[in-house]
Copies of this chain bind each other. A is one copy, B any other.
Amino acid sequence: MGHMEDVARIAGVSLMTVSRAINSPEKVAGDTRERIEKAIAKTGYVPNLSASSLSSKRSRIVAAIVPTISNSTFAETVRGLSDTLDAEGYQLLLGQTGYDEAKEEALVFALLGRQVDGIVLTGVSHSNALVKRLKSLRIPVVETWDLSESPIDMVAGFSNFDAGGEIGRYLLAKGHRRLGFSGGPGDRTDSRLAGFRGAMKRTRDAHLTIALLPVGTTFRSGREALQILMEKDPALDAIFFANDAVAVGALMECQRLGIRVPQELAIVGFTDLDIAAEIEPGLTTVQVRSRTIGEEAARMLLTRFKGEVVTEPIRDLGFALVKRASA
């Protein structure tokens, strides 16, 4: 292994110069830097970042909290975060909440002890204790996957409410009146439903049937959701699934049951997974920029880390209704 002292001795300089050669090379003369670099290579020296972070109060670690990484859309966000941060020498500490607010709070508190330089949260709804602590700490925080007028600090996402509303208006404009909704747990789902409902208010004869699902966005749960909804209201003529995987499962179940989509039943999903474009009929859905959300969140943090000001702390990355054959 070897410590910094070994490197310093071999290079014939002081500890401090080695430290500088590593952290701000431009402040060290070319030839001394070279000597130090050789000494580092020779000893295989790897800096102890715990010591560094204790001393400097900067860890170069960012904590990312997502509901679950099994949902590929959050995985994409993590990917965007990781790739962007990695390029600047920051690393990612991952936490999963399982859509549990208490778990989120516990997780963040534990990670704060690591002196993380920044935190990325999913959603804009968190426990009071967490919000309070985070605000008082003045540590850079980015909330993602939704928007808020008053974020803890910064936010990068899109309006789930508006997206739900757009889908509602789209289906109503197409003449559908007996609508169904199905989604799993989570505030984002709630917002989409609220927006969907909002769109329906103006239309007197519109009727809504809801089926809430347990955690787990699988094709199979889509089949089940379809069955539940059709049982509750066999006259349903359109369904909005708050998740693409579930929507695709429902689409497959329609094929099996001989329900013609979109003639007998229109189906809309959410997220625009790969498969939405490939399946037959193509799935009408809402495209969201999962990867970009992660990248933007990372960029906002990096800007802060440099001591610069984030000019646009509320970043609306938008969404797009992608019209395909299913609705």
Residues on A close to B: CB < 8 A?
Answer: 1, 44, 46-51, 53-54, 59, 61, 68-70, 72, 75-76, 78-79, 82-83, 86, 89, 91-96, 109-115, 133, 137, 218-220, 245, 248-249, 252, 255, 274-275, 278-280
Contacts and interface: CB of A to CB of B under 8 A. Distances in A.
Contacts of A70: 72, 75-76, 79
A51 to B, nearest CB: 5
Given A75-B75, A79-B69, A219 B275 contact: yes
Contacts of A220: 274, 278
Contacts of A252: 278-280
A22 B278 CA distance: 53
Given A252-B278, A280-B255, A50 B46 contact: no
B96 A47 contact: no
The 8 residue pairs across chains A and B that have the minimum distance between CB atoms: A50-B54, A50-B53, A49-B113, A219-B278, A46-B113, A75-B75, A94-B94, A49-B114
A46 B112 contact: yes
Contacts of A89: 110
A51 B95 CA distance: 21
A298 to B, nearest CB: 13
A47 B279 CA distance: 51
Indicate the member of A49, A59, A219 with the most B CB atoms within 10 Å.
Answer: A49
A274 B252 CA distance: 13
Contacts of A274: 218-220, 245
Contacts of A54: 48, 50-51, 54
A278 B113 CA distance: 44
A69 to B, nearest CB: 5
Given A72-B75, A275-B219, A278-B219, A82 B109 contact: no
B59 A69 contact: no
A91 B95 contact: yes
Contacts of A278: 219-220, 249, 252
A50 B44 contact: no
Given A48-B54, A94-B94, A220-B274, 6 more contacts: A46-B109, A49-B114, A50-B114, A70-B79, A91-B111, A219-B275
A147 B57 CA distance: 41
Nearest to A111: B91
Contacts of A248: 275
B94 A82 contact: yes
B91 A86 contact: no
Residue in A46, A76, A86 whose Cβ sees the most chain B Cβ within 10 Å: A46
Contacts of A44: 133
